Amino acid sequence: MPAVRVVLVEPKNEGNVGAVARAMKNFGAEDLVLVNPCSLGEEARKRAMHGASVLDAAKLAQDFDSAVAGADLVVGTSGIDTASEKRFARIAVTPRGLGDRLAGMDVLAALVFGREDFGLLDEEIRRCDLLVTIPASPEYPILNLSHAASILLYELFSARAPERPRRKASGLEKEKLHEAFADLMEATDYPAHKRERTKVMFRRLVGRAIPSKWEFHALMGVFQRATKRIQRLEGKEPTRRPPRGRDGAAR
C-alpha cells in the first residue's frame, strides 16, 4: 500500500492549511510539506482540530523539487482536464482511478496541490508523473483546496481499507429465492406470457446485487409470507415443490 505525502505549493490561506491537516488526520496521512506557505497562526490551528499534530510536524520547502524529493511517484492535481493528446500534460485520471492504480503499490506518493488562485504552474505539472482531477459541475469546476484534498485522501484510504467480511448467499439459497419469486408471481396471477422474461430480469438483478445471507433470508420471508397470505385469502393450496439436493437438482 502506498504511503502518502501531501504537498501544498504556496498556500495563501492559513485556514485551508489547517483544514487539509484535519483531513489528513481523518484518513491516516501524517506527512505534510509546505512550499513557501503563508504565515500559520491561530486560524490554522482552529481549522486543524485534532489534526494539529500533523500541522505541528509539517515540513517547509523552498521549492517544488525539494518538496517532492524522495517520492517514488509525484501526483499533481488540477481543475483542468483534457482528452486531447496534443495537451498530454493535462490528461488526468479521476480520484477513484488514482486509488485503484495505487492500491497495490508499495511506494511513497507525493500528492501535490497548487495555489488557491491559479493552481500548479505548467512546469510543475510537467514534473508530475501523474495528474488527477476531480469531476465537478462545468459551471464551477474548481474546488476549495481542503475539499479537494479530502476527496483524494478519502479515495486513497478507501482503496487500501480492507472490505468488511460479509457472508454471501449460496447458490442453493439464491435458487430458493428464485423459486419463491416464481411462486409469488403465480399467486398474484402475474401474466403468464411475461413470467419467463420477468424471471430472467430478477435473476440478473440478484446476480448484480450479490446478496448476503441476511438479505436472502429477509427477501425469502417477504416473498413466502406474501404468497401464503394470498393463497389463504383465495383458498388455494400452497405450492409444493419437490425437494432439492445440495446441487439444486430436483430429487
CATH number for the domain including 39?
Answer: 3.40.1280.10
Quote the CA–CA distance of 21 and 32 in Å, as a whole number: 8
Do both 177 and 151 map to the same domain?
no
pLDDT value of position 164: 67
Give the pLDDT score at 167. Answer: 85
Tell me: do 140 and 179 sit in the same domain: no
Instruction: Give yes or no: residues 150 and 183 share one domain.
Output: no
What was the pLDDT predicted at 85? Answer: 47
Q: Do the domain assignments include residue 113?
A: yes
Domain boundaries, position 66: 3-160
Count other Cβ atoms within 10 Å, centred on residue 24. 25
Averaged confidence pLDDT in the chain: 88
Nearest-5° Cα angle at 31, 28 to 32: 115
25 and 128 together in one domain: yes
Across 46-71, average pLDDT: 96
The set of residues, in sequence order, having a beta carbon less than 8 Å from that of 101 and lying 6+ positions away, is 93, 130
pLDDT at 35 over 50: yes
Residue 90 has pLDDT above 70, yes or no: no
Residues 204 and 83 occupy one common structural domain: no
Looking at residue 25, its pLDDT comes to: 97
**Residues 80, 122 share a domain:** yes
pLDDT digit string (tens) for 2-33? 799 999 999 999 999 999 999 999 999 999 99
